[in-house]
Amino acid sequence: MKKTILKLAFILPCFVFANELEFKTLKSNFVQTVTSDGSKIEYSGNFMTTHNNAFWHYKSPTVKNIYFNYERVAIIEPDLEQVIYTSLTNVPNLIDVIKSATKVSKDTYQAELDTITYTLTLKDGLMSEISYKDRLDNDVVIKFSDVRKNEYIDDSLLLPVYPKEYDVVVQ
Protein backbone atom coordinates (compact mmCIF):
# COMPACT_ATOMS: atom_id res chain seq x y z
CA MET A 1 0.00 0.00 0.00
CA LYS A 2 2.83 2.44 0.83
CA LYS A 3 4.33 1.94 -2.64
CA THR A 4 0.93 2.69 -4.17
CA ILE A 5 0.71 5.88 -2.12
CA LEU A 6 4.24 6.88 -3.12
CA LYS A 7 3.41 6.32 -6.79
CA LEU A 8 0.30 8.40 -6.35
CA ALA A 9 2.23 11.19 -4.71
CA PHE A 10 4.73 11.24 -7.56
CA ILE A 11 2.10 11.35 -10.32
CA LEU A 12 0.72 14.83 -9.69
CA PRO A 13 3.82 16.99 -10.03
CA CYS A 14 4.57 15.22 -13.27
CA PHE A 15 1.45 16.65 -14.84
CA VAL A 16 3.22 19.99 -15.10
CA PHE A 17 5.15 18.65 -18.07
CA ALA A 18 2.22 17.47 -20.21
CA ASN A 19 1.49 19.88 -23.05
CA GLU A 20 -2.23 20.30 -22.51
CA LEU A 21 -1.95 19.98 -18.73
CA GLU A 22 0.66 22.63 -18.01
CA PHE A 23 0.42 24.55 -14.77
CA LYS A 24 2.66 26.25 -12.23
CA THR A 25 0.75 24.98 -9.20
CA LEU A 26 -2.12 22.61 -8.58
CA LYS A 27 -4.40 22.09 -5.57
CA SER A 28 -7.24 19.63 -5.17
CA ASN A 29 -9.20 17.34 -2.91
CA PHE A 30 -8.98 13.66 -3.77
CA VAL A 31 -10.52 10.28 -3.10
CA GLN A 32 -8.25 7.32 -3.83
CA THR A 33 -9.85 3.90 -4.08
CA VAL A 34 -7.65 0.80 -4.05
CA THR A 35 -9.44 -2.45 -4.89
CA SER A 36 -7.85 -5.88 -4.53
CA ASP A 37 -9.45 -9.33 -4.47
CA GLY A 38 -12.90 -7.88 -3.82
CA SER A 39 -11.82 -5.71 -0.90
CA LYS A 40 -11.75 -1.96 -1.20
CA ILE A 41 -9.89 0.71 0.75
CA GLU A 42 -10.81 4.37 0.28
CA TYR A 43 -8.48 7.21 1.18
CA SER A 44 -9.37 10.88 1.07
CA GLY A 45 -7.61 14.15 1.56
CA ASN A 46 -6.11 17.04 -0.34
CA PHE A 47 -2.87 17.93 -2.01
CA MET A 48 -0.90 20.80 -3.43
CA THR A 49 2.00 20.69 -5.83
CA THR A 50 4.47 22.90 -7.66
CA HIS A 51 7.13 21.98 -10.20
CA ASN A 52 9.55 20.98 -7.42
CA ASN A 53 7.60 19.84 -4.38
CA ALA A 54 4.31 18.33 -3.34
CA PHE A 55 2.30 17.78 -0.17
CA TRP A 56 -0.42 15.13 0.19
CA HIS A 57 -2.58 15.25 3.30
CA TYR A 58 -4.52 12.04 3.88
CA LYS A 59 -7.48 12.69 6.20
CA SER A 60 -9.01 9.22 6.26
CA PRO A 61 -9.01 6.42 7.10
CA THR A 62 -5.99 7.65 9.09
CA VAL A 63 -4.10 10.92 9.03
CA LYS A 64 -0.91 10.80 7.01
CA ASN A 65 1.16 13.61 5.50
CA ILE A 66 3.45 12.96 2.56
CA TYR A 67 5.98 15.57 1.44
CA PHE A 68 8.24 15.02 -1.50
CA ASN A 69 10.57 16.45 -4.04
CA TYR A 70 12.32 14.65 -6.90
CA GLU A 71 14.92 13.10 -4.59
CA ARG A 72 13.12 11.93 -1.47
CA VAL A 73 9.87 11.47 0.35
CA ALA A 74 8.94 12.21 3.96
CA ILE A 75 5.95 10.26 5.26
CA ILE A 76 4.64 11.59 8.56
CA GLU A 77 2.28 9.31 10.47
CA PRO A 78 0.94 11.15 13.55
CA ASP A 79 -0.85 8.05 14.93
CA LEU A 80 2.50 6.26 15.05
CA GLU A 81 4.48 9.39 16.00
CA GLN A 82 6.82 8.45 13.18
CA VAL A 83 8.51 10.00 10.16
CA ILE A 84 9.87 7.86 7.34
CA TYR A 85 12.36 9.33 4.89
CA THR A 86 12.93 7.35 1.72
CA SER A 87 14.45 8.00 -1.68
CA LEU A 88 12.59 7.97 -4.97
CA THR A 89 15.03 5.56 -6.60
CA ASN A 90 12.45 2.75 -6.73
CA VAL A 91 9.58 4.94 -7.90
CA PRO A 92 9.02 5.06 -11.66
CA ASN A 93 9.87 8.22 -13.53
CA LEU A 94 6.32 9.34 -14.17
CA ILE A 95 7.54 12.52 -15.85
CA ASP A 96 8.32 10.29 -18.81
CA VAL A 97 4.82 8.79 -18.58
CA ILE A 98 3.18 12.19 -18.79
CA LYS A 99 5.50 13.38 -21.55
CA SER A 100 4.64 10.33 -23.61
CA ALA A 101 0.91 10.32 -22.84
CA THR A 102 -1.18 10.14 -25.98
CA LYS A 103 -4.64 11.53 -26.41
CA VAL A 104 -7.19 8.74 -26.89
CA SER A 105 -10.30 10.92 -26.84
CA LYS A 106 -11.29 14.52 -26.17
CA ASP A 107 -10.51 14.38 -22.44
CA THR A 108 -8.64 11.09 -22.04
CA TYR A 109 -4.93 10.34 -22.25
CA GLN A 110 -3.01 7.12 -21.76
CA ALA A 111 0.60 6.46 -20.96
CA GLU A 112 2.60 3.37 -20.17
CA LEU A 113 5.57 2.99 -17.87
CA ASP A 114 7.15 -0.30 -16.84
CA THR A 115 4.16 -2.30 -18.13
CA ILE A 116 1.65 -0.19 -16.16
CA THR A 117 -0.94 1.69 -18.19
CA TYR A 118 -2.16 4.95 -16.69
CA THR A 119 -5.40 6.52 -17.86
CA LEU A 120 -5.61 10.27 -17.26
CA THR A 121 -9.00 11.95 -17.51
CA LEU A 122 -9.74 15.66 -17.74
CA LYS A 123 -12.95 17.56 -17.09
CA ASP A 124 -13.30 21.16 -18.22
CA GLY A 125 -9.57 21.22 -18.96
CA LEU A 126 -8.61 20.10 -15.44
CA MET A 127 -7.50 16.74 -14.16
CA SER A 128 -10.45 14.75 -12.79
CA GLU A 129 -9.17 11.17 -12.52
CA ILE A 130 -6.16 8.88 -12.76
CA SER A 131 -6.61 5.13 -12.93
CA TYR A 132 -4.22 2.21 -13.24
CA LYS A 133 -3.51 -1.35 -12.10
CA ASP A 134 -0.37 -1.44 -9.96
CA ARG A 135 2.28 -4.17 -9.81
CA LEU A 136 0.44 -5.88 -6.95
CA ASP A 137 -2.62 -6.20 -9.21
CA ASN A 138 -4.55 -3.57 -7.25
CA ASP A 139 -6.98 -1.40 -9.20
CA VAL A 140 -6.26 2.21 -8.25
CA VAL A 141 -8.62 5.09 -9.05
CA ILE A 142 -7.91 8.63 -7.86
CA LYS A 143 -10.75 11.11 -8.30
CA PHE A 144 -10.10 14.82 -7.92
CA SER A 145 -12.53 17.57 -6.91
CA ASP A 146 -12.28 21.32 -6.40
CA VAL A 147 -9.21 21.38 -8.66
CA ARG A 148 -7.46 24.76 -8.76
CA LYS A 149 -4.43 25.59 -10.82
CA ASN A 150 -1.90 28.40 -10.85
CA GLU A 151 -2.87 29.73 -7.42
CA TYR A 152 -0.13 30.94 -5.09
CA ILE A 153 1.36 28.26 -2.83
CA ASP A 154 3.69 29.26 -0.01
CA ASP A 155 6.79 27.03 -0.42
CA SER A 156 7.01 26.55 3.34
CA LEU A 157 3.76 24.53 3.18
CA LEU A 158 5.59 21.96 1.07
CA LEU A 159 8.34 21.26 3.62
CA PRO A 160 7.93 18.51 6.23
CA VAL A 161 7.24 19.71 9.76
CA TYR A 162 6.79 17.34 12.70
CA PRO A 163 7.33 17.27 16.46
CA LYS A 164 10.94 16.60 17.47
CA GLU A 165 9.89 13.66 19.66
CA TYR A 166 8.71 11.63 16.63
CA ASP A 167 10.80 8.60 15.68
CA VAL A 168 12.66 9.19 12.42
CA VAL A 169 13.33 6.25 10.10
CA VAL A 170 15.63 6.67 7.11
CA GLN A 171 15.35 3.99 4.42
d(CA 18, CA 54): 17
Can you tell me the mean pLDDT for 117-135? Answer: 89
CA 157 to chain centre: 16
Cβ distance 9 to 56 under 8 Å? yes
Q: Is the pLDDT of residue 26 over 60?
A: yes
Query: Of 98, 75, 71, whose CA–CA distance to 6 is shortest?
Result: 75
Pick the CATH number of 26-170 from 1.10.3720.10, 2.50.20.10, 3.10.28.10, 3.40.50.300: 2.50.20.10
Q: What is the pTM of this model?
A: 0.80
Greater pLDDT, 12 or 44: 44
Residue 61's pLDDT band, with cuts at 50, 70 and 90, is: very high
pLDDT at 42 over 60: yes
Domain boundaries, the chain: 26-170
